[in-house]
Amino acid sequence: MDQDMDKTPDFSPAGRFLIMAGALVVLVAGLRAASYLVTPFLLSIFIAVLAASPLRVLRRLGLPRWAAMLVIAGVLTGVGLVVGTLFSDSLNTFNQRLPSYQTRLLSTASDLQDWVESHGLELPDNAMSSLIDPPRVMGLMRAMVSGFSTILANALLVMVTVIFILLEADGLPNKVRLALRTPEESIDQAQQVMRAINRYMALKASTSLLTGVLVWILLTIIGVDFAPMWGTIAFLLNFVPTIGSFIATVPAVLLALVQIDLGAAFMTSIGFAAINLTIGNFVEPKIMGRGVGLSTLVVFLSLVFWGYVLGVGGMFLSVPLTMALKIALSANPQTRPIAILLGPENQAAAAGDAHGSAEDSLWVEPAQSLDSGR
């Protein structure tokens, strides 16, 4: 009787699948409900992973731990203050100039309607003004800038969390060794995740910085207001795969149209397209080499999924999170097929070749043993 009670229930494959699917649904729902807490914490982890390398360099140069931490904290604080001040000042100036922007947009809409009617197409009165709707366009631009300001408002919480993570980093391997039954395997897997994320984030930050600087220079040459802010937004949105560069283009083009004229808006859109195509198609593949280890479809789906679960922050972290998930899945033989599906075609082909050679070895080794027996 006791032996029957001690037995672990044995579920069929369909039962196990349903249990795992139910657990996944509960996990996703929980993450989405707690996204306002989870997102800053995840962002802190990724920033800490990036900051760990400079921290180690400072330690090797002979700085004590507290001094190295002070330098890292000072740099993070300085960057946060500069970016926060930039957005705050730009938003205040934008609000002051908003009436003139709306007037200019109405004038542009009227000129556009006159141009259309001059080519023989009759339109109702104020058709273009109703279509463009200046208050809605200006409200959209202001909401976008305010949204970035809200994200930056959580920077203090993120920075403090980063510092505490870095303080705990040295003792974490010992804690893992004491807590887990297979600590070395878990530590190796964690180090693999950290190396992959560190490499991706560092290279992506480099290309994003180049994008932001080029956008800043472009808009300064054209004469668009708030060029430093738009460059910063282009830098940040370049971390969002697939659609980030397009989102960064829209408000700058609208402001060029409102502030200057249609020609400036056209030059701005062409300049953005040239920058994004050059960096996205030539610079990033050149410096990233083998890429992020994810297929293009998976990158897009991860953007949609993590954006749904964690909001805007999840869109920024979609690629690193999916990379970490892929590495974790590849470490387990039962979930390795899922990791292969997440990767690009060349990795799947390599895995198939390795699997085929392993099967061939099962036939070769017995034959060799028979030959040696003879």
Alpha-carbon gap, residue 94 to 139, rounded angstroms: 11
Residue 162 and residue 76 in contact, taking contact as beta carbons nearer than 8 Å: yes
> If residue 125 lies in a helix (H) or strand (E), which one and from where to where?
none
The whole-number pLDDT of residue 72 equals 87
- Whether pLDDT at 218 is above 60: yes
Which of 51-60, 116-125, 138-147 shows the highest mean pLDDT?
51-60
Alpha-carbon gap, residue 31 to 53, rounded angstroms: 29
The position carrying tokens 């969390």 is 161
Which range (120-129, 183-192, 276-285) has the least confidence? Answer: 120-129
Mean pLDDT of the chain: 77
The whole-number pLDDT of residue 251 equals 86
The per-residue DSSP string of 78-92 comes to HHHHHHHHHHHHHHH
- Whether pLDDT at 118 is above 60: yes
Question: What does the block give as tokens for 314?
Answer: 């999840």
Q: Which amino acid is at 323?
A: M
- Whether pLDDT at 270 is above 90: yes
Which range (17-31, 200-214, 334-348) has the least confidence? Answer: 334-348
Alpha-carbon gap, residue 324 to 301, rounded angstroms: 15
Would you mind telling me the total number of residues written for the chain in this entry? 374
The whole-number pLDDT of residue 374 equals 45
- Whether pLDDT at 123 is above 70: no
